[in-house]
Every structure is written in structure tokens, then in C-alpha cells.
A and B are shown apart, each in its own frame.
Chain A
Amino acid sequence: MSGKVDTRVRLAGIDLKNPVLTASGTFGYGTEFQDFMDLTQIGGFVGKSLTRAPRWGNPPPRIAETPSGMLNAISIENIGVEAFLKERLPALPEDVVVIASCFGTDPEDYADLAAELSESPRIAGIEINASCPHVKSGGIEFGQDPNLLGALVRRVREASSKPFLVKLSPNVSRIGDMAKVCEDSGADGISLINTVQAMDVDVQTRRPVLSNILGGLSGPAIRPIALRMVWQASQAVNIPICGSGGILTAEDAVKFMLCGATAVQVGTANYTNPMAAAEIAVGIADYAAEHGFPRVADLVGALDLSSRSA
């Protein structure tokens, strides 16, 4: 049925065969999923956030399950940009769209990484992680201060020859303002949301469940918050939005598209079902077919607001 539907979307200048990407930090470096699926079934994937040098994350416990979600405080543990470019990227099939996520301590650091990643012909675009909620410095500071964010985005714009998205933190009071700063400073698109800062406590031991005390909440628990933020951001900017937060099914993904997301990212669902992203891509096309949309791109922003007021 979905055979007739045109599933292609164009996100910030990157052509995707369907609107489903996988979220940074939930899809490894791509190769880990090849046991379970053909990576070309998804629109593309965003790799684990990369830093200049390899780095370790936090001591355990790093994760904990919470109602309809999970907390994590991995911190940006990664193999470093060098090893990614040299060892991991060549191991991926040629026709997989790769978006590299990068994380820095200051705008120069981000710009250097973006410049280096831009040079690889295998990388279609870059995602600037301006929102990791549990790294001591960098990341979230940029995502929470509009002036810092603007300076960062301008610097990355100068350094990068590839399209780039800025991944925003939900831990702000006015998401529309942050989105607008990105647009005005030259970003090609925005991704949201990253995890919601949160914590949990073990009453038996009376200790926080995570070694880092605070972590980031992901999964279905944050989906309504994510939808709200995607909606608000889409009202504030014209650049494309990549929506994420608790997507488990095709219907969840469609909701994000209706609220204005051009593409979506599947995160925590990859852990519960290693084929989730591929199945969601098929399900979105089925939905479009069933509801008379010739192209899945027609779902973007197609929210029916008649008899509703904001």
C-alpha cells in the first residue's frame, strides 16, 4: 500500500530517503545494528557525539529505568573524531546517510570538529550537540544561554562547509527563542529535544540511583514535552526541525511531523527493539497512504487546528 507514497524528505539540505534518523548516543557508530537490519532502510543515522580526543564517561550506575523512560548519565564517552573517521566510517555501507554529532568545550573546539568532519565526503551533515545535560562543562551551557548559543552557531557556520543542525536542550523556559537564535546565526536546521534533566532515588539505600546524581530522561515519558517544544519551535522559525523524544512507533513519529518536524530521530526505542527505526519508517509511509497523503513530506506541519486555539 505504501509503495505509492513518496517517502523522501529534504532536511536542512540533506536528502533522505525517508524521514527516520536515529538519535545520537542510541545507535552507536552504526555498525552495531548491522546484525539486525539493513542500514539503508532508514533515512540516516546520527552517530554518538564525538569529541577531539577519545574520552571515558561516568562511573556506574550510568542508567536506570523510570516509569515509561530511562535516566542516563553516560557523559560523552566516545572514541574521538580521529578513530571515527578512520575506523568506523569506512566500515559503513556507502549509501547510508551519516550525520556526525560533535561536542566541544568552547566555540573554537566545536568549529574545529565541524571543519574536520566537513572534509569527509562520507558525512552528509553535522549535528552540534549544544545540550548534553550531564557533562561538567560545555554542551548545555551553550544550549541554555542565547548569547553563547548565537556565538557558537556563527562560529560553526564559518567553519563548516556541510549542512548542520543544532541540537537543543529542553531544559530552557523559552524554546522558541533558542530556535530563533540558531536560525538567525546561520544554522541549517535544529534538532530537539535532547534528554530532560532528571533524577531518581533508591529508597532502600537512600542514594541517588545514578553515580552522577543527575541524569537525562528519555523515552515515552518525555514525548508530550518534546511534541510541545517541536510545535513551539516550528512556530518560531522557518528552518527545518528534526524532532525526537520518546518515539516508539510510527504513530509517535507522525505526531512530530504533524507538529512541524521535517524528520524525526528514534532514540531509546533502538534499545527496546533494534529494528525500531526501520519499522517506524515503513509505518509512516503506511500512515500517509492510509490517510491520502501522496508524499510523507506532506505530513509536515499538517496539524488541523480548526476549533483549537493556542
Chain B
Amino acid sequence: MKPRAVHLADLDLLLRLCEDVRPGAWSRTQLSDEMARKDARILCVDAAGTGESRVLGLLLARSVAGELEILDVAVAEDVRRRGIGRSLLTSLLARAQEEGVTRVLLEVRASNRAAQSLYADHGFVVEGRRARYYPDGEDAFLMTQHTPNRTVRPAPVRAEAEVLENIAEGGGNYRLSLAIPNWPGADPGQFLMLSAGAWTDVARTDPLLPRPMAVFRQSPLGPDSARVETLYKAVGRGSGLLAQAQVGQRIRVVGPLGGRFPLPQPEERALLVGGGTGTASLYELAAQAARTGEVDVVLGARSEQDLMGVSLFRDLGVRVHTTTEDGSHGLRGRVTDLIPQLTAENPQSFSLYACGPTPMMHACARLAEELGVPRCWVSLENTMACGFGVCLGCAVPLSEGGFSLLCRVGPVYSASEISWEGLP
């Protein structure tokens, strides 16, 4: 059920779908003119594999000057609620991202709750109301995409960083500070691909591949460089080599990569939940979210020495709560033990952001659903080779079927988008 581009040979089938779903909305010539436009972005889902020659869903959009306008989405009556609209939309947004689209917009009927919630799941927000927009007099909401590409992503650089500090914080945890030239600035949730050594060194084969690490903090250093910090745990060969890096040593860097955490909407309260090294992804988010609203941060780990960055979060002026499994710091227990009480007052007013081990994020996602917290964003991990969308190795399965490239579309996902059972 993978969406595909349309070709002229599909015209009859497309027209039949439009006629069934929205009689009179598209004439044959209108549709074929639309298909011929250079700026048209049209996707369909066909009944391939069923032996039936039929188009089940259609999405028409135009890409103009960096903006993408969704003109129409049509799904055949008898196959609704099977995720066809969702997969058309995800596919379009993934392509939009690759084209460097800065804003996606659409109009939706004020009464069409199902479509509005589908768009909201993909980070769209209502930006305005168009009175009597439809021929029958109904109003339209103008919705625009809030995430992940509300802004143009910073273009990643291939850089050679210098180690400024590499501090062992106990328990195999390290804080690495790098001076990175030509750093374009990272959005909250973005990551780097790192490997120890200079680009001109003998090509490394052990390990061969760079390792992904989240951007923890960043600050300007000079006119064209930045201090970028990561928090990591030495768990194997790649992170072990990073742990040995001395001040002044070179580190190969590609980044910033991936998409960002969307910021909470106005009036929304942010609840950030970090487990172990997952904490690293949340600092820049906490800093940004704290400028406009209330932020609670829950940091959890096995024991005190695995709790990273607690005082740095406190310095941001956000409320910090801790849990440890052995009770050595904060509440004895798990991060999820704190979520119900923190959101008890008005769960609908929260956005939950989780980053940590997969079982922890899955538990957060289930809890958010149970408690009625409307939005839950998670930052996933997967094995990566390239980090910038070309090896296709990092694919994660989506709940609607199909896969998403974690390094390019992720690592941040809305929890409901993910097929949790299918994660490695």
C-alpha cells in the first residue's frame, strides 16, 4: 500500500475515484492539466496486489517557492480508516522534507474532525479560519505544519572538530565538548555522526562506521565555530574510542542531522522525560520551551552516577525531578512513576517528550494515551551507517505500514506513528 507518483495512464482511474468521493470537484481536463504541471506533487495508492484495477486514495499538492499546498485528499469510501490518507500524507511530507519545503499548508472543513486530527498528528496547527470558504457556506480552517520542518533545517556540514574537554562523569559516562568550525546551529533533537580522528588520517576500519550522538548543548565559540557538547556512555568500540580522545585531538563530524522536536504549542505545558543518555537530546528543547512556557523535566537512571546533566537542567530554571532504580537520587523507581502525578491536574494541557531506552519510551507513550495527554513525541534510536538518508539502514516501521528513515524523517516521531512491536 505504498503511495506512488501518478502517471497519465492512471487518469481514468483517478477520475473515477474523484467522481465517487467528491462528484464534480475535478473534471477530466482539470485533473490532466494538474498532472501536467511542473509544480504538481500528486501521489496515489492503488489496489496493487489485489488484482483489482483501481485507485484507492489520491493526494494532490503543489510545491511553490518552498511552500507546499495540499489541494485535495480523496480516499475511497469503502477503504477508509485503513491508514491510506495517513500514508499519502506521510509520504508527501517525507518528500517535501527532501525538497527543502519550509511550510506545508492546507484548508480543511471546519466540521471534518477526522482530517483535522490526522493533520494534527503530523504537527499541523490551525493558523486561521476562512469564513464561508466552501461553496456550501462552510468555513475552512487553514492549517500549517508545525513540525518537523516549520523552519528550514540547518544544512549539515562535514567538519573536523577539536576536543575541548572529554570528562569522565563516572559509570562509563562522558561529557565531550567539541569545537566545530562552520557550525550552522542545531535544532533541539538533532544529532551528529562522530568518529575519532582527522579526515586525513588513515581511513579507519575498526570501527568502520561513525556513531550517532545527540547534540546536548551548543554555544558560540568564535566568529565561525561553536562549542558543541555530547553526553555519552562508553558501551562498545566506537564510543570507547571517543572516551579515549584527549584534549586537542581531532574528531570527524557530520551534522547536524535529523529533524527536530516540535516546540509545545502556546498554552501547552512541556513534560520532558529522559532515561540514561537519552537525557542528552532534551537539553536544547528544555532551554527553548522554557522561554515560552512551563517545563517539567524528569530524569531517570539506574543509579545516581548514570544521572547526567541534572544541575545543568536546573540552571535553565525548569523544574527537575529525578528517579533512580536503586533510590540513590530522587524517587526510587522509574520515570513513568512520576508522570501521572505531574500531569494529574490537567492532562490535556501537556505535551510529553521522551528520549531513552525503547521500552521506557514505549511505556511513556502508553501512559500518555491512558492519561489523556494529547501529544507524545519520542526520539528513537536505530543502527545507522550514514546518518543522512542514503543507506536506508535506519528504517523504522510505521503503524500505518511501511517504514520511515530515522536519520532523516526522525529521530523524533509522534508516538502513535510508530509500530512499536516492529522496532528492533
Contacts and interface: CB of A to CB of B under 8 A. Distances in A.
B393 A62 contact: yes
B385 interface: yes
Interface string A266-308: 0011111111000000000000000000000000000000000
B360 interface: no
Q: Is the interface of A mostly helix, strand, loop or mixed?
A: loop
Given A57-B392, A68-B206, A70-B208, A274 B4 contact: no
B108 interface: no
A57 B206 contact: no
Interface string B413-424: 000000000111
A55 B2 contact: yes
Contacts of B157: 35-36
A20 B254 CA distance: 22
Interface residues of B, number: 47
A270 B390 contact: yes
Interface in A55-106: 55-57, 59-65, 67-70, 72, 74, 77, 79-80, 82-83, 86-87, 91
Given A57-B392, A60-B382, A82 B158 contact: no
Contacts of B130: none
A35 B206 contact: no
A271 B385 contact: yes
Contacts of B254: 36, 274
B2 A63 contact: no
Contacts of B252: 273
Contacts of B99: 91
B393 A63 contact: yes
B365 to A, nearest CB: 18
Contacts of B132: none
A31 interface: yes
Contacts of A27: 390
Contact of A272 (B3, B204, B424): B204
A299 to B, nearest CB: 20
A37 B214 CA distance: 24
Given A60-B395, A272-B210, A28 B205 contact: no
A13 interface: no
A60 B4 contact: no
Given A56-B403, A219-B208, A272-B204, A62 B392 contact: yes
A201 to B, nearest CB: 15
Tell which of B7, B99, B199, B392 has the most Cβ of chain A within 10 Å: B392
Interface in A1-44: 25-28, 31-33, 35-36
Interface in B130-173: 155-158
B208 A82 contact: no
B392 A68 contact: no
A28 B158 contact: no
A53 interface: yes
Interface string B395-424: 111000011000000000000000000111
A220 interface: yes
Interface residues of A, number: 49
A65 B208 contact: yes
A249 interface: yes
B391 A26 contact: yes
Contacts of B2: 53-56
A288 B273 CA distance: 57
Given A62-B395, A248-B203, A274 B158 contact: yes
B48 to A, nearest CB: 7
Contact of B391 (A63, A69, A87, A275): A63
Tell which of B204, B384, B390, B394 has the most Cβ of chain A within 10 Å: B390
B388 interface: yes
Contact of B209 (A65, A82, A91): A65
Nearest to A251: B203
A65 B207 contact: yes
Nearest to B238: A65
Interface in B223-280: 252, 254
A157 B423 CA distance: 43
A211 to B, nearest CB: 8
B383 A63 contact: yes
Contacts of A271: 209-210, 385-387, 390-391
B388 A274 contact: yes
A74 B392 contact: yes
Contacts of A274: 158, 254, 386, 388
Interface string A239-269: 0000000001100000000000000000011
Contact of B423 (A26, A55, A60, A69): A60
Tell which of A55, A219, A270, A272 has the most Cβ of chain B within 10 Å: A272
Contacts of B65: none
B98 interface: yes
Given A57-B395, A72-B393, A63 B424 contact: no
Contacts of B423: 60
Nearest to B1: A56
Contact of A36 (B158, B195, B207, B384): B158
A272 B98 contact: no
Contacts of A26: 390-391
A26 B391 CA distance: 6
B156 A35 contact: yes
B5 interface: yes
Contacts of A65: 207-209, 383, 385
Nearest to A28: B390
A69 B208 contact: yes
A209 to B, nearest CB: 9
Contacts of A220: 203, 205, 208
Contact of B392 (A33, A77, A270): A77
A20 to B, nearest CB: 15
Contacts of A91: 99
Given A57-B392, A60-B382, A272 B158 contact: no
Given A56-B2, A72-B391, A249-B203, A270 B383 contact: no
16 contacts: A35-B155, A55-B2, A63-B385, A67-B206, A74-B393, A77-B392, A87-B95, A91-B99, A219-B205, A220-B208, A248-B205, A268-B208, A268-B385, A271-B386, A272-B203, A273-B158
Interface of A: 25-28, 31-33, 35-36, 48, 53-57, 59-65, 67-70, 72, 74, 77, 79-80, 82-83, 86-87, 91, 211, 219-220, 248-249, 268-275
Given A32-B389, A272-B208, 7 more contacts: A36-B158, A54-B3, A60-B394, A62-B394, A63-B393, A70-B209, A274-B254
Interface of B: 2-5, 7, 41, 48, 95, 98-99, 155-158, 195, 199, 203-210, 252, 254, 382-397, 402-403, 422-424
